[in-house]
Chains A and B, each alone.
Chain A
Amino acid sequence: MLDKEGIAKRIAKEVKDGYYVNLGIGIPTLVANFVRDDIEVEFQSENGILGMGPFPLEGEEDADLINAGKQTITALPGASFFDSAMSFGMIRGQHVDLTILGAMEVAENGDIANWKIPGKMVKGMGGAMDLVASAENIIVAMMHTNKAGDSKLLKKCSLPLTGVACVTKIVTNLAVIEVTKDGFKLLERAPGVSVEEIQKATEGKLLLEGDIPEMQL
């Protein structure tokens, strides 16, 4: 089974040379730490930076330089700043190659819910609805089950949707799964996790084809 860093490490392998990548808040933010350093990648943060770098050194924090999670960041050589309309123009215009975000629920048709629990938690969708409506390559990073132990990979989302039939891949603490038109296709198992355990933790339709290999991290 993977921890959050393990999920980020596995997703980092999906980041290819020449990609512009948008990272969501939480586990997705960690992905930047594990991307190979022999490839050229730029991270976009939708509040208005392309070429986002690591956190600043202590004493070098700048209130005018933050990411979409409101954390202080740095700008790498070659970075650029822009307004929010241009930022979402990049996203809506499909110039961003890969979007990695968290979710509360994903359905077997690729629907995603991650912005609202009616009556309990309403934080807002931020840029998530724009991202999932336009991006062609969307990877969800999340735990396979919620704190109560219920599956987050469902036949149908129970929470208000963020986007419809949009998720392409899911990486959880248990598995790598591709969203196909027929359901969740199991691609890889996390180290030490059996197909049966994944099956048990997946409410939606899980497609199994041949031997399912263990993830290489």
Chain B
Amino acid sequence: MIRKTVANVEDALQGVEDGMTFMLGGFGLSGIPENAISELVRLNVKNLTCISNNAGVDDFGLGLLLQKKQIDKMVSSYVGENDEFERQMLSEELEVELIPQGTLAARCQAAQQGYPAMYTPAGYGTEVSQFKETREFDGKMYVLEKAFKADFAFVKAWKGDKAGNLIFKGTARNFNPLMCGAAKVTVVEVEELVEPGELDPNQIHIPGIFVQRIFEGKNYEKRIEKRTVRKVS
């Protein structure tokens, strides 16, 4: 067993510097690496490029880094829930690259699995495919999209063991597994960190080989963005 544990979030984020590119897991506020984000705010690293499907909300998630103007560029697919984001984008304080959600996922996975690029039909004929190589396969047009390159991936899993094996929960899985091993250093925070052998190897979603550092996170808020309920019928 190769041990991947670090003592805390401070140790987990060793080496983080101004100007770096980060990948952050999560869809909306579900499955975001809350502890890593708090630490990035505390460290006050600046001029960041963040690859994340969304940009949080004004006062939570990546919105916290946006408020402190720590981010220079966002690569996302949907940013509609964040007023400060929209303001910074429209005033061009913030550079934003909007890309299709499936392309975002594929570019993470390509980085994880060693593909330099892949073809997708998403965005063909739209401004997303401008200045990109396109090619026809069997009568249909595709756009060449490149693997991401990032310095750190910040991932949130439900459970993990000290060897870095991970299990995700529900739809909090989303982009998290795809970012493991897709950056130079993958930092994972889990709600429950267990001893090797306690997780069933049949149930592991991501093997520890894709993880460099793992720690048990604290004080998860797990905020719900849109609370919708039904009445008892």
Mark A residues whose CB is within 8 Å of B. 45-49, 54-58, 60-73, 75, 81-85, 87-88, 91-92, 119, 122-130, 133-134, 160-164
Task: Identify the stretch in B11-19, B37-45, B64-72, B118-126 within 8 Å (CB) of chain A at 4 or more residues.
Answer: B118-126
What are 21 A-B contacts with C-beta separation under 8 Å?
Answer: A45-B171, A47-B174, A48-B171, A54-B230, A57-B232, A61-B228, A66-B28, A66-B226, A69-B226, A81-B170, A85-B102, A87-B102, A88-B102, A122-B96, A123-B78, A125-B78, A130-B102, A130-B120, A160-B126, A161-B127, A164-B126
Contacts of B108 in A (CB 8 A): 85
A-B contact count (CB 8 A): 178
Q: Is the CB of B121 within 8 A of A92?
A: yes
Within 8 Å of chain A (Cβ to Cβ): is B5?
no
B31 pairs with A55, CB closer than 8 A:
no
CA A123 to CA B228, docked complex, whole Å: 22
Question: In the complex the two chains form, is A129's CB within 8 Å of B100's CB?
Answer: yes
- Contact A127–B100 (Cβ < 8 Å): yes
* B102–A91 touching, CB < 8 Å: yes
Q: A158 to B101: give the CA distance in the assembly, Å.
A: 23
CA distance A81 to B100 in the complex (A): 21
| Residues on B facing A (Cβ under 8 Å) | 27-31, 53, 76-81, 86, 89-90, 96, 98-106, 108-109, 120-128, 158, 168-178, 205, 222-230, 232
> Is the contact region of chain A dominated by helix, strand, or loop, or is it mixed?
loop
**A122 to B96, alpha carbons, bound, how many Å?**
10
5 nearest CB pairs, A to B:
A88-B102, A123-B80, A130-B102, A164-B125, A64-B170
Which residues of the other chain, B, contact A127 by a CB distance below 8 angstroms? 77, 100-102
CB-CB under 8 A from B174, the residues of chain A are 47-48, 83-84
Beta-carbon contact of B86 and A122 below 8 Å: yes
Contact A92 B226 (CB under 8 A): no
- B78–A84 touching, CB < 8 Å: no
Count chain B CB atoms within 10 A of each CB in A83, A92, A162 and give the residue with the most. Answer: A83
The answer to whether A63 and B29 have CB atoms under 8 Å apart is: yes
Nearest chain B residue, comparing its CB with the CB of A69: B226
Q: Is the Cβ of B98 less than 8 Å from the Cβ of A122? A: yes
Q: Let me know if A124 and B79 touch, CB within 8 A.
A: yes
CB-based contact B77/A124 at 8 Å: yes
- Residues of chain B lying within 8 A (CB to CB) of residue A64: 30-31, 158, 169-172, 222
B125 touches A85 (CB 8 A): no
When distances are taken between beta carbons in the complex, the residues of chain A under 8 Å from B31 are 64
Partner of A125, one of B77, B109, B120: B77
A159 to chain B, nearest CB (A): 11
Are the C-beta atoms of B122 and A61 separated by less than 8 Å?
no
Asked if A133 and B89 make an inter-chain contact with CB atoms under 8 angstroms apart, the answer reads no
Residues of B within 8 A of A129 (CB): 100-103, 122-123, 126, 128
